[in-house]
Amino acid sequence: MNDHPTYNPDRSLGYMSNMVARQFKQALDRRIQPLGLSSGVFPVLLQLWAKDGQFQSELLKAIKVEQPTLANTLSRMERDGLVRREADSEDRRRSRVYLTDRAREIERDAVTHAMDINIRASSVLTPEEHAQLLDFLVRVSQGFNEG
C-alpha cells in the first residue's frame, strides 16, 4: 500500500497556473516576435506605455521581478532601440526610463496582439466566469503578498 498522497497535476492550482502562463507566453511570443519583441520585455513596455519616464525602482515594484533581471531586460531593450535611460534632473544617481519612438510606434500592434490572445483564451468562458477567474487570480496573487 502506498502511503504517499496522489498528485494530480490537473487539480493543482500551481501546476495549471504555470501551464496556462506558459501557453500565454508562447502565444504572445509568436504574435509579437515579428515586431522585434519578446514576452520578456512586454511587462516593461506596458508600464511605460501607461506612464513614460518611470524610475527603475517604480518598474521593479510594478513588474515584481528581481533587480538584476530588470537591469538585464532594460539593457536588451536599450540595445534593441526600445528604451533609453536618462539620469534624473533632480537626483543624478537615479535614472528614468523612457520609450523610444520605435517603441511608441509598435504599441498599438503589440497591445492588439495581447488582447487577441486574451480573447481567444477566454472564449471558453462565459463573461461571468471570465470576471470570476480574474477576481480569483487577483486574490491568489494577493495571498502571496500577505504571507
Q: Does residue 25 belong to any structural domain of this protein?
A: yes
Q: What is the mean pLDDT of residues 53-62?
A: 94
Please give the tally of structural domains in the chain: 2
Domain extent, residue 28, equals 10-37+106-147
Q: Does residue 122 belong to any structural domain of this protein?
A: yes
Q: Does residue 51 belong to any structural domain of this protein?
A: yes
Q: Does residue 4 belong to any structural domain of this protein?
A: no
Predicted confidence (pLDDT) at residue 75 exceeds the cutoff of 60: yes
* 3-state class (DSSP) for residue 5: coil
Residue 1 pLDDT grade (very low, low, confident, very high; cuts 50, 70, 90): low
Q: What are the grid coordinates assigned to 29, written together?
A: 511570443
| Mean pLDDT, rounded, of the chain | 93
pLDDT at site 42: 96
Contact 113, 46 (CB under 8 A): no
- Predicted TM-score (pTM) of this structure: 0.86
The CA distance from 34 to 37, in Å, is 7
Residue 85 and residue 55 share a domain: yes
Q: What is the mean pLDDT of residues 31-50?
A: 96
Predicted confidence (pLDDT) at residue 2 exceeds the cutoff of 70: no
Predicted confidence (pLDDT) at residue 95 exceeds the cutoff of 80: yes
pLDDT at site 8: 87
* 3-state class (DSSP) for residue 15: helix
Residue 137 and residue 110 share a domain: yes
pLDDT above 90 as % of the chain = 79
Q: Does residue 24 belong to any structural domain of this protein?
A: yes
Q: What is the mean pLDDT of residues 53-70?
A: 94
Q: What is the mean pLDDT of residues 130-145?
A: 91
pLDDT at site 147: 56
Q: Distances from the Cα of 140 to the Cαs of 31, 55, 97, 144, 147, in angstroms? A: 28, 28, 30, 7, 11
